[in-house]
Structure 1
Amino acid sequence: MLALDYAKLRSNRLVENDPNVCHGMKSLDNDMILATSKCLFAAAAGNSSSILCKQRERQALLKIKQILIAHNSSVKVGSWVGENCCQWQGVGFDYVTGNIILLNIINPDPNICSTSGRICYDDGCYYNSRCLEIKDGSLDHNIFGSMITILQGLKYLTHLKLYGLIFGRESTRIMSFSKVIGTMTQLRYLNLSSVGLVGEILSQIGNLTNLQVLDLSNNFLQGNVPPQIGNLTNLQVLYLSDNNLEGNVPPQIGNLTNLQVLDLSNNQFDRELRIMRWASSLSNLQFLDLSNIDLSQLTVDAWRILSQLPSLSHLGLSGCNLKNNHLSHVFSNDSAIILNTLHYLDLSSNLLKNPLTILGNLSSLSFLDLSNNLLEGSVPGWLKNMRSLQVLNLARNGFSHVENDNKLSGEIPDFLGQLTEIEHLDISQNYIQGKVSLSHLGSLSKLSYLDMSYNNLSLDITSKWLPPFQLNTFRMTSCKINHSPQWLQTQTRIQDLDLSNTGISGKPHEWFINTTSLLRLNLSNNFLTGPLQKQLSLGQWDVDGSFIDLSSNQFSGPILLSFGKDYCGISSLQLNNNSLTGHIPSSLWNCTQLQILDLSRNKLSGLIPPWTSDQLLNLYVLRLQENQLGEVNSKEDSTILKNLCKLRDLNILDLQNNRLSGTIPNCWESSTLQVINLSSNNLSGVIPCSLGNISSLEYLHLSDNKLGGHIPSRLSNLTQLRLLNLGGNELAGAIPKWFDTSFSSLEVLRLPRNKFRGSVPKEL
């Protein structure tokens, strides 16, 4: 398998979204895929009604139906009635034995449980084979018991995936579950990633001798890996990453001679890992990830074992506290086998320095990540020999391109433009300076990802240039673009564009006339003009996670009133520091994924829409300050604030310097709010005592309003408060003495221009 396929394997858990990769084993042509939504194997036989499913398995399916209904699942189980479960939608069975072998019930992954999916083992690929997947749920005690019943009833399963199912980290439940798993000896594929497993890996795992894929990643497992894991001699894929495992990596792992994929990353292993004798017998190992494990004490012999793995093509060593001398034991030895087999090498987040000439022998690399190290001086010249590179990441180092005479040359090395296989190039956050010209980009026909951000670079390319590539991502933050980037019209596939703080001017919608694929757009801190409505008509803002930042420009006009009218998946909308007019469209409440909304420092007027926590349930930043909002009667304003105070995930609420009137409602319940700023409005009445319920509050600004009455004693509960500004109001009574004892974290207290009586307490 190609190294880049392994990169997908690590991030997607067995390449679940890549139609050309089959679990790190084999693949078959698409025309061999069998597709059906009901009783696959019975359909092949031609008569599903002639075979009845077994009663015990039917009862197990009814338990699953119970779980789905209990969780208000959107999965359709209306057909799950009657005696013959082989006719139920999403159920497959073996038409010879009548055993249930397929359940396709909850948004299955396309290459695992779907009716057109596939599962691959050493003897080939199977379609719709013996699969149970239940995803993204939370089990209470009673339903957990039903799950045990289900698993006991479906003893012919060979494929079990419970990814994302939360067991609640209750040890007794984990043990009972593990014991049941230990009896399912037909299993070939077991995925228990992200299910909340705690404690040690139980020895019962050693009973599953047919397993070929085992994924226990992203749990809370600790202690040693049991030696019984060495019984799984058919195992080809083993994920133990993202746990708290420590102590021994048992030498019995050396028994897994069929192992092709081994991921031990993000654990606390020690002892045997330093020696790694167990690795010497893994002649089929292609994928090895030891990232974020301290390997600084690894023995010389261990490094040499690593260098002699005959099939290794993917090696992850990110965050391992490595220095140059460690690498010399692996890559400077001319007899090292991996010099010829390695395609993927991740050395990011280590302590590596220039020169790294020992890597120059790896001419077969297609993926190299040296980001976040201590590399300084020029971009290494040995990179020009790596003509197979598809991914190169040099971000967050200290490169400056220093010539032999130690004078800054001000140019990116020309040889980067000769790496014609490059698809992904990241040189961001360095000290590189000079011009980026056609000599660097003109031959990179396969380029799809380019990030040159946070350097002292200027893009010196004419606006009429026709690039040979189609970019998916282009970022040049805080660099300089000398010409209007009209050539972006040719980039019809671009999804992520960041040209913030580059000095560009003009009307950007004219550059993107052919672009409809944008998902993330950042053009902030420039000199862009034109009506905002035309900019917001670009892109696919109905896609979850999309992002817009057009702040700090010179855009004018109203916000597109239909924005978000049908569906809006945008997570961040930042239009602050422009000259926008008109009302805030209420249709924004359809943006249920919205987390950040910043419309501050514009000329917006009218009402704040009556958003509720049911609509903007993910919103945690709301900035509307320095507008002209609130030119209505006090009763309506109070209703608006009453809705805002119930946004349960809100962290920052800033409405200062508007025209809000009425009272501050007494409805504050949030446990997440850290900043409230209602200063410089026309608010009256008293400070509501429910503000004291916000235990997380750190900054409270209520200055320059018309608030009266006393400072409520309930505010003494705000023990995290760092700033309290109540100046410029009509507050009366004495300044509370409890300020000193209750506000132990307070750094700034402002109370001027009020009607307090008496003297300032000595405690202050």
Structure 2
Amino acid sequence: MERNFFLGRYLIWVTLLLGQLHGYKSCVEEERNALLEVKKYIISITREEVSDYINVLPTWTYDTKSDCCRWEGVKCNRTSRRVTGIAFGTLYLKENSLLNLSLLHPFQDVRSLNLSKNEDYDTTLFSGMFDDVLGYKSLGRLRSLEILDLSLNAFNNSIFPFLNAATSLTTLSLRRNFMDGPFPAKRYKSLRRSRNLEILDLSRNSLNNSIFHFLNAVTSLKTLFLRSNNMNGLFPVEELKDLTNLELLDLGENKFNGSIPIRVLPGMRKLKALDLSSNEFYASNGMQGICQMTNIQELDLSRNKLVGPFPSCLFGLTRIQVLDLSSNQLTGKVPPALGSLGYLKYLSLLDNNFEGVFSLGSLANLSELRFFQLSSKSKSLQVESEGSWKAKFQLRVFELPSCNLVTKA
């Protein structure tokens, strides 16, 4: 879901932000010199046409009176004065620039590395890695590293052997790189050594279904983003069966099709958020599998090809807070039983083929409801509002386009 309510996604970015806050004391001299070596290297791979008017890492200065813990993008531990977080920010690197991991080895206490680029700038960052000391084991030298953001770079599948050594990682983002499929899982070891990895973002690449064979050993995963890749076929139930700790799964904007599975393996019953939007699923009466996920709080099935009546088994999801069934082909009446989903905050039923009469009064007891959308392409849906009922909710968004609104005294 590309909205604020899809809270799981922002776990990555909030954590990374915390990793960039400034400390209070100057870092140790060894690490200060190491930061200046990093800057020197970045200058050497900066595009010549911009180096004359862009000051690379301007706060990283040779002035010995400058507190390097207050340099932009640097965070230090308040007690030990060692660097715990590094973020480069927007850079303008030469094409095919490589990340020299050995320059980061002095930072033994670093917990977060943000090497992503700024989405607002047309720049290219790193396209690969090199290391003349330890090769693929190089990232493993950073034994305290927990958060690694390599998003919006130009890495391809060859990045994975380096990552296999980073056993301390809890959060890894490779969003919007150049990874694609078929993915040669036999060539690269899986991330089975990453027993601490909980958040993984591989969205907006060109990966296909072969990536699942690589991921199925990462049983510690709680949050997995595979949005906007080249995946297709049926819902990958079997491929996900070993990821028994998953709480958030985003498979939106792919090409999955067919009926949503009628059964769900026990390992998926911990899911709290599931995004299957912008695929080609159909047959709303075959969603018994999803309805077995009794812990679901956020469900996005928008922009699919769901046909038939509103799936009544969804009323068993008593904890659901976000439900989006917009832009499908649902028919029949909008069920008044929606009012029984007492935790609903967000409900979108836009752009379907509903008919008949729906009373807004049936939602009166949804005290948490803040966002409501309803419309029908058939233009034969009548929305009825009775003057005698009092709503407990305080809506911030209320949209009824293409509906016939009738008010009763």
Unaligned runs of 5+ in 2: 44-49, 119-123
Aligned equivalent of 2:222:
286
- 1:222 equivalent to 2:156? Answer yes
Residues 224 and 246 in structure 2, CA contact (< 8 A), matched pair in contact too: yes
CA spacing shift, 1:253–1:421, aligned 2, 3 Å: same
Residues 202-601 of structure 1 mapped to structure 2, 5 A cutoff: 202=130, 206-209=137-140, 210=143, 211-246=145-180, 247-248=183-184, 250-270=188-208, 272-276=210-214, 278-280=215-217, 282-296=218-232, 303-324=237-258, 327-328=260-261, 332=263, 336-339=266-269, 341-354=270-283, 355-356=285-286, 357-401=288-332, 411-453=333-375, 455=377, 456=379, 457-462=381-386, 466-482=390-406
Q: Distance in 2 between matches of 1:157 and 1:227?
A: 26
CA spacing shift, 1:162–1:184, aligned 2, 3 Å: same
Q: Distance in 2 between matches of 1:269 and 1:72?
A: 36
Residues 423 and 446 in structure 1, CA contact (< 8 A), matched pair in contact too: yes
Q: Distance in 2 between matches of 1:469 and 1:353?
A: 32
Residues 684-723 of structure 1 mapped to structure 2, 5 A cutoff: none
Q: Distance in 2 between matches of 1:452 and 1:162?
A: 45
Residues 185 and 207 in structure 1, CA contact (< 8 A), matched pair in contact too: no
Residues 364 and 390 in structure 2, CA contact (< 8 A), matched pair in contact too: no
Higher relative contact order structure (alpha carbons within 8 Å, sequence separation ≥ 6):
2
How far is the alpha carbon of 1:369 from its aligned partner? Answer: 0.8
Listed one character per residue, the Cα deviations across residues 533-560 of structure 1 (whole Å, up to 9, x for unaligned) are xxxxxxxxxxxxxxxxxxxxxxxxxxxx
Secondary structure at the residue paired with 1:451?
strand
Aligned equivalent of 1:8:
7
Residues 183 and 207 in structure 1, CA contact (< 8 A), matched pair in contact too: no
Give the alignment's TM-score, normalised by structure 2. 0.75
Residues 308 and 336 in structure 1, CA contact (< 8 A), matched pair in contact too: no
Listed one character per residue, the Cα deviations across residues 196-248 of structure 1 (whole Å, up to 9, x for unaligned) are 22534556674232221111122232343331311111111111122220233
How far is the alpha carbon of 1:130 from its aligned partner? Answer: 5.1
Listed one character per residue, the Cα deviations across residues 392-416 of structure 1 (whole Å, up to 9, x for unaligned) are 0101101122xxxxxxxxx310121
CA spacing shift, 1:15–1:479, aligned 2, 3 Å: farther
Secondary structure at the residue paired with 2:323?
strand
Q: Distance in 2 between matches of 1:56 and 1:208?
A: 17
Residues 264 and 290 in structure 1, CA contact (< 8 A), matched pair in contact too: yes
Q: Distance in 2 between matches of 1:362 and 1:318?
A: 18
CA spacing shift, 1:385–1:343, aligned 2, 3 Å: same
Q: 1:189 aligns with which of 109, 112, 122?
A: 112
Residues 127 and 153 in structure 2, CA contact (< 8 A), matched pair in contact too: no
How far is the alpha carbon of 1:272 from its aligned partner? Answer: 4.5
Residues 224 and 248 in structure 1, CA contact (< 8 A), matched pair in contact too: no
Q: Distance in 1 between matches of 2:104 and 2:177?
A: 20
Q: Distance in 2 between matches of 1:82 and 1:245?
A: 41
Q: RMSD of the alignment, in Å? A: 4.2
Unaligned runs of 5+ in 1: 24-34, 43-51, 87-99, 107-112, 114-127, 132-154, 402-410, 485-764
Specify the structure having the higher radius of gyration (Cα).
1
Return the letter of the residue paired with 2:88: L
How far is the alpha carbon of 1:332 from its aligned partner? Answer: 1.3
Q: Distance in 2 between matches of 1:205 and 1:481?
A: 64
Residues 129 and 159 in structure 2, CA contact (< 8 A), matched pair in contact too: yes
Q: Distance in 1 between matches of 2:103 and 2:341?
A: 53
Residues 186 and 208 in structure 1, CA contact (< 8 A), matched pair in contact too: no
Aligned equivalent of 1:589:
none
Aligned equivalent of 1:159:
85
Give the alignment's TM-score, normalised by structure 1. 0.43
How far is the alpha carbon of 1:391 from its aligned partner? Answer: 0.6
Residues 99 and 130 in structure 2, CA contact (< 8 A), matched pair in contact too: no
Q: 2:95 aligns with which of 170, 189, 196?
A: 170
Q: Distance in 1 between matches of 2:102 and 2:335?
A: 60
How far is the alpha carbon of 1:294 from its aligned partner? Answer: 3.4
Residues 384 and 407 in structure 2, CA contact (< 8 A), matched pair in contact too: yes
Secondary structure at the residue paired with 1:15?
helix
Aligned equivalent of 1:751:
none
Secondary structure at the residue paired with 1:14?
helix
Q: Distance in 2 between matches of 1:368 and 1:206?
A: 40
Listed one character per residue, the Cα deviations across residues 116-147 of structure 1 (whole Å, up to 9, x for unaligned) are xxxxxxxxxxxx6459xxxxxxxxxxxxxxxx
Q: Distance in 1 between matches of 2:240 and 2:63?
A: 58
Residues 624-639 of structure 1 mapped to structure 2, 5 A cutoff: none
Residues 222 and 247 in structure 2, CA contact (< 8 A), matched pair in contact too: yes
Aligned equivalent of 1:199:
127
How far is the alpha carbon of 1:257 from its aligned partner? Answer: 1.1
Return the letter of the residue paired with 1:159: G
Secondary structure at the residue paired with 2:192?
helix
